[in-house]
Structure formats: C-alpha cells, structure tokens
C-alpha cells in the first residue's frame, strides 16, 4: 500500500526539469507529432537518455484510452495446437508494439466467462479466442473487437479464422474408404462444439458420398481429451469381429493420442492391426512408427492471421469478409492399411 516516493521511477516531469522545458514539450518529442525545434528535441532526448526515462504505459493508457494490449483466451496451455496458435499471435503482436495478456479457460464454469470479461474489459483493447471454450462463452458481453480462432458460431456474427473442418474429416474418412475400409469408427469431440460438429459432419458426408451406412455403434463422443479417445478405441476393439471397425478417424490430436495409447497397451499399433487417421499433426503422429495419416493445420499461421485481423479491427478497418479460411492438407503416413475387397 505504501508507495515509496523516494525511489520512484523517473517521470516526464523529471525529464522536463532536466531539459529545461515544459512537460508538454517532452511529450511532443516522445510522440513525434507536433513540430519541435531541433535544438529543443536534442535537449529532451539527452535528458531522457541521462535519466533513463521510460514512459509509464498505465498513465498513457488512461488518457489515450488504448492499452496496446490484447487478451488471448485458450482452453489450455498444455495442448500443442494452442501453443502454436499462441506463438503465432504473440510474435505478430509483439512486433507491432502490442502486449499479450493470457487466460486459460480450463475448468471454467459458465459464470467465469462473465468474470473474465469484466476483469479484462479495461485491460485489453481486443480479444483473441481459441476454440473449445467459445461455445460456452457469451461473447456479447465483450464489447470490443474480438476474433475467434478455429471456431464458428453461425448464429452470431464474429470475425473468425478457420479451416474447413468438414473437408478435413471428409478427406480422412475418404482415405480409409479408398483403401478398402467400410467399417470406420469415429471418435468425435464435444457434441455441441462448433469445430467438432463440422468434423463429425465431414465423416458422415464421406460415408454417405461413398454409399456406406454409418453405424451408431461406431461413433463415440465425449471431450477433446485423451480419455475420450481411449474409451472409444477400447469400445471399438471389444466389438465382435464382424462389427469391429477396421479403421478409425479421430477428430483431434488428443483423442488420437488416446487411441494410440490403448493400442500400445494391447501391443497393437496403428498401421498394423488397425488403421487410424486423425485431425492435427503432432509429435506422436509424426514420429511414431508407422506415422499417422493426419490433417495438418497451419497452426502458427492461424495465430498470426487472427492477430492480424484483430489489429486491423483495432485500427478501425472492417474487412468485409468475416470468415478467413486457411488451407489444411492431408499428410499420408503408414497408419492406413489397404484392405482387399
């Protein structure tokens, strides 16, 4: 509570005194807007250097109304997809003089979103929200610029950065079908969540496209986490021979890991006893033997583009295309076994 005024930071006043000018002159030099004589400017700059003066960002924000700060909301920091998105966004923001505040929504209750908005509304100029959480958030409470990454809410009207989720699982499913698979399991994510929803749709649409009847027993849902993948794979494996899927599509990185975990526990491997394809590339998919066939998303770029759109919004631009669709691609590895008819 006690402020120690003795070793206070040096302020604009100190600089003004040292340079023998008014504080408004110092401010002008620092912000380089109005004209200042070369001589005065030099004196001020010297005083700044000598005193090691640093602007008080808080005071600047108070009067300008801008914090030059962006809030990033992610479901979880331990997921490598989120990590990459953050990396991309942070680099872009930092390079443009913006600072990044961060908050994870793991274990959030409904009410916590409201608190989050309250707490940060005065601290950040804009907000970047990464998938997962958004479906439970009431974005309407946030009145400043907002960009959604990897989420889309048709009933609302936000700027978003996405990939074509439906096409992704379509490709994964198609890959299995073209290799002769007919009984294909699906490990869905959270039933109501937007990205998961599209991915499930892609699976169904591929099945239909190739005239295969989808089997309810081969579709499992739950969460974005490992556990859902493990449970699903275990259930699939316990089906009788004729009903058991020969291939499985996992809708995200962690559920894929869960599938692989169960396989490993039973001495099985994707690409040997069963085929597996999944959304999102990750270490395990890339370097396990055989590797997993996946849909790779430009994660760093998604973060960067999200930040780019947000800064555009902050500078008053209003891009008329609200949804930005990024490219994703299928990477074929050894996890899909060709099956003879």
Partner DNA sequence: TTGTACGCGTTATCAA
Partner DNA sequence: TTGATAACGCGTACAA
- Which stretches of the chain bind a second copy, using CB under 8 A? 1, 3, 9, 54-59, 61-62, 64-65, 67, 69, 76-80, 82-84, 86-87, 90-91, 94, 99-104, 106, 118-123, 257, 260-261, 264, 267, 269, 282-284, 286-289, 291
Q: Give phi and psi for 106, each to the nearest 5.
A: -55, 135
Other beta carbons less than 10 A from residue 291's beta carbon: 18
CB 144 within 8 Å of CB 124? yes
Answer with the entry of a second copy, DNA, none that 13 interacts with (C-beta below 5 to 8 A by kind).
DNA
Answer with the entry of a second copy, DNA, none that 315 interacts with (C-beta below 5 to 8 A by kind).
none
Cβ distance to a second copy smaller for residue 40 or 69: 69
Cβ distance to a second copy smaller for residue 32 or 65: 65
SS3 of 280, please?
Answer: coil
Answer with the entry of DNA, a second copy, none that 288 interacts with (C-beta below 5 to 8 A by kind).
a second copy
Answer with the entry of DNA, a second copy, none that 298 interacts with (C-beta below 5 to 8 A by kind).
none
Cβ distance to DNA smaller for residue 52 or 211: 52
Cβ distance to DNA smaller for residue 42 or 286: 42
> Interior CA angle at 284 toward 280 and 285, to 5°?
45
**Nearest in space to 236 (alpha carbons), one of 223, 219, 252, 222:** 219
**Residues of this chain that bind DNA (CB under 7 A):** 1, 3, 5, 8-9, 11-13, 20-25, 27-28, 30-31, 33-37, 39-40, 53-56, 59-60, 62-64
Answer with the entry of DNA, a second copy, none that 45 interacts with (C-beta below 5 to 8 A by kind).
none
Other beta carbons less than 10 A from residue 89's beta carbon: 30
In angstroms, what CA-CA distances link 336 with 140, 172, 213, 332?
A: 44, 10, 21, 8
C-beta of 158: minimal distance to a second copy in Å?
A: 20
Cβ distance to a second copy smaller for residue 167 or 224: 224
C-beta of 258: minimal distance to a second copy in Å?
A: 9
DSSP strand pairing (219-220 vs 184-187):
parallel
CB 285 within 8 Å of CB 256? yes
Answer with the entry of a second copy, DNA, none that 269 interacts with (C-beta below 5 to 8 A by kind).
a second copy
Which run of H or E residues covers position 307?
Answer: helix 299-314
Task: State the distance between the two ends of the chain, measured CA to CA, in whole angstroms.
Answer: 77
**Nearest in space to 13 (alpha carbons), one of 3, 2, 1, 27:** 27
Cβ distance to DNA smaller for residue 67 or 169: 67
DSSP strand pairing (126-130 vs 323-326):
unpaired
């Amino acid at each position: 509570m006690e402020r120690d005024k003795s070793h206070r930071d040096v302020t604009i006043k100190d600089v003004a005194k040292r340079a023998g000018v008014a504080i408004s002159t110092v401010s002008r030099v620092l912000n380089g807007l109005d004209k200042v004589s070369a001589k005065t400017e030099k004196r001020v700059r010297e005083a700044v250097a000598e005193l090691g003066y640093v602007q008080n960002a808080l005071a600047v924000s108070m009067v300008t109304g801008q914090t030059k700060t962006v809030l990033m909301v992610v479901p979880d920091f331990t997921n490598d997809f989120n990590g990459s998105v953050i990396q991309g966004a942070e680099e872009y923001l930092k390079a443009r003089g913006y600072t990044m505040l961060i908050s994870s929504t793991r274990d959030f209750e409904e009410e916590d979103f409201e608190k989050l908005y309250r707490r940060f509304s005065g601290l950040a100029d804009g907000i970047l929200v990464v998938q997962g959480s958004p479906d439970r958030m009431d974005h309407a409470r946030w009145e400043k610029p907002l960009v959604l990454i990897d989420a889309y809410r048709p009933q609302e009207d936000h700027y978003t950065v996405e990939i074509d989720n439906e096409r992704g699982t379509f490709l994964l499913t198609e890959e299995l079908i073209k290799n002769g698979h007919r009984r294909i399991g699906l490990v869905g994510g959270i039933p109501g969540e937007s990205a998961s929803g599209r991915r499930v749709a892609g699976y169904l649409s591929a099945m239909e496209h190739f005239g295969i009847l989808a089997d309810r027993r081969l579709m499992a849902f739950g969460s974005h986490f490992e556990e859902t993948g493990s449970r699903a794979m275990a259930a699939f494996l316990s089906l009788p021979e004729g009903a058991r899927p020969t291939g499985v599509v996992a809708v995200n990185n962690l559920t894929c890991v869960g599938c692989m975990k169960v396989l490993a526990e039973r001495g099985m491997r994707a690409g040997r006893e069963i085929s597996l394809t999944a959304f999102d590339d990750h270490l395990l998919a890339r370097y396990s033997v055989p590797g997993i066939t996946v849909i790779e998303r430009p994660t760093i770029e998604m973060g960067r583009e999200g930040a780019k759109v947000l800064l555009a919004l902050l500078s008053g631009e209003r891009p008329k295309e609200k949804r930005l669709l990024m490219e994703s691609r299928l990477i074929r590895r050894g996890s899909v076994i060709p099956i003879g008819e």
